[in-house]
Amino acid sequence: MYAVVVTGGKQYRVSEGSTLVVDRVTAEPGEEFALDQVLLLGGDSVQVGTPLVSGAEVRVSVLSHEKGDKTEYTRYLHRRRTRKTKNGRAKLSVLKVESIQFNTASA
């Protein structure tokens, strides 16, 4: 069974036991929480939400918090004839998918 979930404004296809790297979440490492914005459930039969699948949730646990690769970009200011360089690192969380649950009674 797999699911398509939304977190941090991005969509991810997950299955049980998989890990995914997402934008930083507020939970601490070792904590478990639910992602309830499920757009699609797949497996033997596919269920597509309108826009969300009601009664579906994905239980995940936080493995760690990390920083992404350093990104650097340069901008040219044309009337000043100068270049401006900026950089940054994304704050990320590594999540492990524990289970995908679907409650047919509430659907």
In this structure, what DSSP letter does residue 54 have? T
| Identity at 28, one-letter amino acid code | E
Number of domains in the chain: 1
Output the furthest CA–CA distance in the chain (Å, rounded): 65
List pLDDT tens digits, range 22-77. 999 999 999 999 999 999 999 888 999 999 999 999 999 999 999 999 999 999 99
Which domain, by its residues, includes 38? 2-102
Residue 107 falls inside a structural domain: no
The pTM of this model reads 0.82
In this structure, what DSSP letter does residue 16 have? T
